[in-house]
Amino acid sequence: MNGVPPAIRAALRGKTSQCSLPAALAADATKEWPIFMAERPCKILSITVVPQALITGANANTFHWNVKNRGTDGLATTEIGNVDFVAGTNAAAFDGREIVNEVAGRRMTAGQVLTIEREKIGTGIAAPEALVVVAYEYEA
C-alpha cells in the first residue's frame, strides 16, 4: 500500500488510539503526558491533535507541542514531531492539527512509549483541552 496517503491507509488497515490532553494555563510550567505505548512493532502513520478551542500563535510568549519517543525505559528523548505556535501558526477549534505523519517513517518496537509535551515559551499562552489521535499499523 505504498503511495497511499497515510490517512486513507489508516482507514483501510490501520488502527487508532485516542486520549485526552488536559488544558493548561499560560503560566503553567512545561509538562509531558504519555499518549501511546506500542504493544508490538508498529509504524506510526500520523499523530493529530484536535483542540477544543482556537489557538492563536505568538512569537515571544507561546507554547510548543512536542511528540517524543521515550523508548522502553522512559529515558529516551527522541523528538519525532512538533508544532510551534509562533505568530501565524494557529489551530482552529475542533479541527485536527497533524503533528507527525508517515513521511517521517516512525517505527516503534514493542514497549516503546510516545509522549506529548506542552513546552512553555516565555510567559506562555493557554492551551485548550485536546483530543490526541495516534494512527498506526502493525508491522509484519
pLDDT tens for 32-84 read 999 999 999 999 999 999 999 999 999 999 999 999 999 999 998 889 999 99
- Cα→Cα distances 59→88, 116, 124, Å: 9, 21, 10
- Sorted by sequence, the CB contacts under 8 Å of residue 73 that are 6+ apart come out as none
Residue 112 burial (CB < 10 Å; 0-12/13-18/19+)?
A: buried
The pLDDT of residue 9 is: 59
Q: Tell me the pLDDT tens digit for each residue of 94-104.
A: 999 999 876 66
- Please state, in angstroms and rounded to a whole number, the distance separating the CA atoms of residues 5 and 11: 10
State how far the alpha carbon of 78 is from the alpha carbons of 31, 61, 75, in Å.
16, 25, 10
Candidates 134, 85, 131; CA nearest to 106 is 134
